[in-house]
Structure 1
Amino acid sequence: MDVQTFSRKPFLFLFLCNLYLYCTTTEICSNSILPGSKGDPGGVGADGEEGRMGKTGPPGQRGLTGEYGEKGEMGQMGKMGPRGTRGDKGQQGVDGLPGLKGKPGTTCDCGRYKKVVRQMDINISKLRNAVRFLKNVVLGIRETENKFYLLVTEARRYEDSLLNCKLRGGSLAMPRSTETNTLLANYIREADLTHVFIGLQVGVTEVGYMYADGKPLLNPTVWALQGSHSGKGGCMQLGSTGGWSQVDCGAAQYYICEFVKNKNTSATLVL
């Protein structure tokens, strides 16, 4: 058994050597295709369709501040606001230097002073005419001996009209005489209006009509007013014909403010 095994080993060795030589020298067929040589570069293809828009990227950094543009034209003047509170009294200034001593007086030169007084009267008359023109034509104010009247052409409700006249330094107009009523009616007609609010409201049945200052209207029949509850509204309006009528307090329309003449009228009247 050992002799046979020993005799087979040289035979197996020779067989493996021949097989190795055969495998290394003989070309074995296969289905694989070897790559060819590199071809010439192809031409540029046609442009493809535009792709879809991608997601919005993060915001960029803030740019530099641009140059200032040219200054625009001045805008229209706005409405005057309410009157501010009165400021504190300022400190008293330093006394000025005394003036030079005047020349000695002489006897009265009446003719000279009459000429000066006459010229002052002329200047005062011109000033009054200028003020009258300013009030009646430029500002549109009407006046009586004791009061000024201003027609406000800004449609407001009755309560807002009361507040606006108060902010101007006055109150809603309260005609108490036929002369004043005629003056205001002409004022309305010259402004091409039909009706405006006045400071009069319908009160309770026992009181009748009440002015804006809380005083009652004593003789409603003089103003052609009948019952105080006609169902047409609790406020009063004055027409261009001079007649009074009831109107809804929530309706917006023009109104007339009145201002009492006194030393501080020029300081409190806000146009």
Structure 2
Amino acid sequence: MAGQSFVRKGLFILLVLHNISSGLTTEMCSNTILPGSKGDPGEVGDRGDDGRQGKAGPPGHRGLPGDSGEKGVAGRLGKLGPSGERGEKGERGIAGPPGLKGKPGTTCDCSRYRKVVDQMGGNVGKLRSAATFVKNVILGVKETEAKFYLLLREARRYRDAVASCRLRGGVLAMAESSNHTALLASYVGEAGLTHALVSAPPPEDAGGLAAGSAQGNSTDDDLQGALNSGCVQMGSDGALSQTECDAAKYFICEFPKK
């Protein structure tokens, strides 16, 4: 028994010594590379590509107002505005210098031309009769010593009627006196109308027209309202009254005799 115990102890001691020697041998023959000292820093590399744009940040503070820009180009011409008030009559001008003295006339024997002149006079008379027929019957033109009056059967607003008369070389008709009022009123009645657009009379003539109208239907209040609005109509009874400026109606133009 003592011999077996001794043998066991000896084997145990040999096993321990073998393990120790194996561990020493492994540490001395290891191929592990130990880290060296830190090297010098390298050169800075090239700049890389731009990255993706990030999200928009919060809005900044309101900036200061900028300088005023240059004046722009003038815009298109607007529509024709309503007609203005009639101006005051100007003063009479200075008389001009006398003309040059004419040359003395010559005498001639006109007997041979008398027949031709008589024929021409007859032709002129026929032309005048034809012109009067065209004006009074076909066109329905009314006239005085100084002016023609034409009633246009074209429904227009007041300012369009004013522009239409100007394009034809005239102006919107105006009742300047009681005789003109009676003429225009009869013109409206003969055309089978109740009213037609005309121009407003001057303020200084308004009272006289109110008192001397055809049937006396134009009162001072009616004329004052018409003058204030600027849009006037003449009735078949000779009364001047206010009308809506946007209402389309027939109108009367007047043209000077040349």
TM-score, normalised relative to structure 1 = 0.48
- The superposition leaves residues 141-167 of structure 1 with CA deviations (integer Å, 9 ceiling, x where unpaired) of 111121111101111111111111111
| 1:229 CA displacement | 3.3
Assess if the C-alpha contact under 8 Å between 2:174 and 2:198 holds in 1.
Answer: yes
Q: What residue is the counterpart of 2:165 in the other structure?
A: 165
> Which amino acid letter does the alignment assign opposite residue 184 of structure 2?
L
**3-state SS, counterpart of residue 218 of structure 1:** helix
Separation of aligned partners in 1, 2:108 and 2:161: 58
Corresponding position: 1:193 with 2:179: no
Structure 1 233/143 Cα, relative in aligned 2: closer, same or farther at 3 Å?
same
> Which amino acid letter does the alignment assign opposite residue 255 of structure 2?
F
Q: What residue is the counterpart of 1:223 in the other structure?
A: 209
Separation of aligned partners in 2, 1:113 and 1:129: 24
| 1:217 CA displacement | 2.8
> Which amino acid letter does the alignment assign opposite residue 238 of structure 1?
M
Separation of aligned partners in 1, 2:192 and 2:240: 17
> Which amino acid letter does the alignment assign opposite residue 252 of structure 2?
I
> Which amino acid letter does the alignment assign opposite residue 157 of structure 1?
R
- Structure 1 stretches of 5 or more lacking a match? 1-106, 201-210, 263-271
| 1:136 CA displacement | 1.3
Structure 1 230/115 Cα, relative in aligned 2: closer, same or farther at 3 Å?
closer
| 1:109 CA displacement | 5.2
Q: What residue is the counterpart of 1:128 in the other structure?
A: 128
| 1:169 CA displacement | 1.3
| 1:114 CA displacement | 2.2
| 1:113 CA displacement | 2.4
Structure 1 260/110 Cα, relative in aligned 2: closer, same or farther at 3 Å?
closer
Structure 1 247/139 Cα, relative in aligned 2: closer, same or farther at 3 Å?
same
Structure 1 160/244 Cα, relative in aligned 2: closer, same or farther at 3 Å?
same
From the CA coordinates, give the structure whose radius of gyration is larger. Answer: 2
TM-score, normalised relative to structure 2 = 0.50
State the identity %.
Answer: 51
Structure 1 230/181 Cα, relative in aligned 2: closer, same or farther at 3 Å?
closer
| 1:128 CA displacement | 0.5
| 1:221 CA displacement | 2.2
- Pairing of 1:65-80 with structure 2 (within 5 A): none
Q: What residue is the counterpart of 1:251 in the other structure?
A: 247
| 1:231 CA displacement | 11
| 1:170 CA displacement | 1.0
Separation of aligned partners in 2, 1:116 and 1:171: 41
Separation of aligned partners in 2, 1:146 and 1:239: 23
- The superposition leaves residues 78-117 of structure 1 with CA deviations (integer Å, 9 ceiling, x where unpaired) of xxxxxxxxxxxxxxxxxxxxxxxxxxxxx96544322222
Assess if the C-alpha contact under 8 Å between 2:194 and 2:236 holds in 1.
Answer: yes
Corresponding position: 1:145 with 2:145: yes
Q: What residue is the counterpart of 1:118 in the other structure?
A: 118
- Pairing of 1:1-271 with structure 2 (within 5 A): 110-200=110-200, 211=201, 216-224=202-210, 225-227=219-221, 228-229=224-225, 234-262=230-258
Assess if the C-alpha contact under 8 Å between 1:198 and 1:237 holds in 2.
Answer: yes
**3-state SS, counterpart of residue 219 of structure 1:** helix
Structure 1 119/230 Cα, relative in aligned 2: closer, same or farther at 3 Å?
closer
| 1:260 CA displacement | 1.4
Separation of aligned partners in 1, 2:199 and 2:227: 19
